[in-house]
Chain A
Amino acid sequence: QVQLQESGPRLVRPSETLSLICTVSGGDISSYYWSWIRQPPGKGLEWIGYMYFGGTTNYNPSLKSRVSITGDASKRQFSLSLTSVTAADTAVYYCARGHWLVYYFDSWGQGNLVTVSS
């Protein structure tokens, strides 16, 4: 049974970089893609991007200039970096596992609320 857990700071200052880590326990990490998804307060879900441990990455076009997702297979972790944050980046950030060929997310972390404020 796969489990995902987000970790990282809960408060980030405007213009700085938001960094989160997702640790994956259980399951195979090489046969899936690994995503970050966020939910601003009172709003819906927004896909940020995904990575595949074989090296492929893909990002939401609206965030592409500020986002990087990388992975460390030996630690069973993947990371999100979002630069130049503003209050609009305040959200609950989820990591999730996705299935190739059918393209849905079957396992999610519990979420990490990140607030951007000075």
Chain B
Amino acid sequence: ENVLTQSPGTLSLSPGESATLSCRASQRVTGNFLAWYQHRPGQAPKVLIYGAYRRAAGIPDRFSGSGSGTDFTLTISRLEPEDFAVYYCQQYGSSSFTFGQGTKLEIK
């Protein structure tokens, strides 16, 4: 199983600042099949990034993904109040999906 480790566990920032979230895989993510999701309480998760860097439909360009192999990053610039949520990375490989444990982005 390809284990995804996200860091930090919690990130405290203010609106207007930039956030950098990390996702490290225990094995190389084949095909860069790496996605990022935003999860607000009581709502369904929403895909932000897929294929490591491709922005999903309707996602503002404040959200960007980068990385390859085993190290991936989600960057959120100019944080807005609605961005404070939990973020998960997800990978696909060997016919199986795994998620990271999540990073909580909270208002400082």
The complex places the Cα of A111 from the Cα of B90 at a distance, in Å, of 18
Distance (whole angstroms) from the CB of B27 to the closest CB of chain A: 15
Least CB distance from A107 to B in Å reads 8
Question: In the complex, what residues of B have CB within 8 A of residue A78's CB?
Answer: none
Tell which of A44, A58, A102, A111 touches B99, judged by Cβ atoms closer than 8 Å. Answer: A44
- B100 close to A58 (CB less than 8 A): no
Any chain B CB within 8 A of the CB of A25?
A: no
Residues in B lying within 8 Å of A, measured CB to CB:
1, 31, 33, 35, 37, 39, 43-47, 50-51, 54, 56, 88, 90, 92, 95-102
A14: CB under 8 A from chain B?
A: no
* Residues of chain A with a CB closer than 8 A to B97's CB: 35, 47, 60, 103
- Within 8 Å by CB of A104, from B35, B98, B100, lies B35
| A residues less than 8 Å from B92 (CB atoms) | 103-104
Q: Give chain A nearest CB distance to B87 CB in angstroms.
A: 11
Partner of B96, one of A58, A106, A109: A58
18 A/B residue pairs, CB under 8 Å, sorted by A: A43-B101, A44-B88, A44-B100, A44-B102, A45-B37, A45-B39, A45-B88, A45-B90, A58-B96, A60-B97, A102-B33, A102-B54, A103-B31, A103-B92, A103-B97, A108-B45, A109-B44, A110-B44
